Amino acid sequence: MTNPEFTPDIEAIRSIDAVPVILSMVKHLTGMRFAAVARVTERNWVACAVDDSIDFGLKPGGELVLESTICHEIRQHKQPVIFGHASLHPLFSQHHTPRTYGLESYISIPIVKANGDFFGTLCAIDSVPANLDEPAIAKTLTLFAQLIAMSLDTQSRLLATKTELDSANELGRLREQFIAVLGHDLRTPLSAIRMSADLLESKTEDKRSLNFIAAIRNSSVRMGVLIENILDFARGRLGGGIPVQRKLVDDLQRTLLLTLEEIKVTHPQAIISHALDVPAGVYCDALRISQLLSNLLGNAVTHGSTDAPIVLKAYAENDEIVISLTNQGTPIPAQLMPLLFEPFSRSEAGQRCEGLGLGLYIASQIAAAHNGTLSVTSDVESGTRFVARFPAQFKWV
């Protein structure tokens, strides 16, 4: 019965189409009547492939006592062992292996993988003498052993590649499930919460109840922003980037104003001044540009000083649309600057803040999707200034 520990090794040798031909060639070249590929470990000698014309009795999966074989010694020194007439050999005439198995001729070549691991041997035996003095015999069998080792290495690489591919496919499946959960399973009940809050508000005039309802609505709005950010992160980081649908937009300035008003409503304590001069006919995804501005404004409101106004500017410059946002307050730490547009960057820099740290990452990805850039400068004198730039018109590359 085959030891299940060695089933993978036996299958690996069996899957090498050249092995039967190699064993036949070994017999032909040496004139010997038994050839095999053996797996040799610290404790076991296991036949993986056999070509037997002397009824030696071994089949694939069959074992010999390791200490009774010369392969046990070969495993240690990794050198071929060859003799054609054991009873006349000065060393092997007294060796226990030829005596145990009644051998006169013997040849065994180590099979060593590219990483140096010893797999086993390519061997041939016979009970009658054989002329093995021709150097070409040892050289040819060594090449055969190397071919087997290379095939085993190739199998290992293919298996590793298949495992990686399976993992990638599983990751893709999980990604799709993750996006589906964000896109439907979480947003649907959140919409129900918002609608319920609106319904409750229309049916009560109690001030305390209205405060609770307002808290529910604000929390649901914030949760909705978090879900949208995670959804965009999943698409951008795990997929092919944040998707944009660019087209000619005549009212981008109005979209930016509406975004600004939304931020003012949700952050009434913020002081925001603006100067917008955006022309018509801008080639962009207006909703994504709105999202970019919303993320920048949200960042400025959260981290800027409440004593100084946030200054928003949007204008055309050299065939580009420029959106500039400046706030005062503590400058961005130098160690955070290289990470600023990476996801979760604030937690990595040891800063505590609201949100997941995805807003600036998503804003930068939206700018990049418009063939543009998002940059930042920050110092005590000028404050923190984010500048987004992207081409105003479509340009063929």
CATH number of the domain residue 47 falls in: 3.30.450.40
Six-digit token string for 316:
């055309």
Domain of 217, in residue numbers: 167-238
Domain shared by 217 and 252, yes or no: no
Q: Which among 325, 321, 300 has a CA at the least distance from the CA of 313?
A: 325
Domain shared by 208 and 279, yes or no: no
Q: How far is CA 47 from the centre of its chain?
A: 38
Q: Measured at the alpha carbon of residue 96, what is the angle toward residues 22 and 107, in degrees to the nearest 5? A: 20
Residues near 180 by Cβ (< 8 Å), separated by ≥ 6? none
Does 29 fall in a domain?
Answer: yes
Burial string for 129-161 (b: 16+ CB within 10 Å, else e) reads: bbebeeeebbebbeebbebbbebbeebeeeeee
Strand partners of residue 110: 121
Domain shared by 60 and 13, yes or no: yes
Does 340 fall in a domain?
Answer: yes
Q: Among 204, 238, 272, where does a domain finish?
A: 238
Domain shared by 264 and 380, yes or no: yes
With a cut of 70, list the residues of the chain below it in pLDDT: 1, 172, 174-188, 222, 234-241, 344-357, 394-397
Does 397 fall in a domain?
Answer: no
Q: What are phi and psi of 4, to 5 degrees?
A: -60, -20
- pLDDT recorded at residue 231: 73
Domain shared by 41 and 142, yes or no: yes
Q: Among 220, 238, 256, where does a domain finish?
A: 238
The domain spanning residue 323 has which CATH number? 3.30.565.10
Cα separation, 201 vs 205, whole angstroms: 8
Domain shared by 121 and 226, yes or no: no
Do 306 and 270 touch, CB atoms closer than 8 A?
yes
Domain shared by 84 and 226, yes or no: no
Six-digit token string for 394:
């479509």
- Helix 286-303 / helix 359-369 crossing angle, nearest 10 deg: 150
Q: Which among 163, 162, 227 has a CA at the least distance from the CA of 190?
A: 227
Does 181 fall in a domain?
Answer: yes
Each residue of 116-174: pLDDT tens digit? 999 999 999 999 999 999 999 999 999 999 999 999 998 888 888 888 877 877 776 76
Q: How far is CA 206 from the centre of its chain?
A: 54
- Is pTM beyond 0.85? Reply is no
Do 45 and 180 touch, CB atoms closer than 8 A?
no
Each residue of 17-48: pLDDT tens digit? 999 999 999 999 999 999 999 999 999 999 99
- pLDDT recorded at residue 348: 46
Do 48 and 39 touch, CB atoms closer than 8 A?
yes
Does 396 fall in a domain?
Answer: no
Cα separation, 121 vs 42, whole angstroms: 14
Domain shared by 303 and 275, yes or no: yes
Number of domains in the chain: 3
Domain shared by 229 and 267, yes or no: no
Do 273 and 309 touch, CB atoms closer than 8 A?
yes
Cα separation, 143 vs 14, whole angstroms: 19
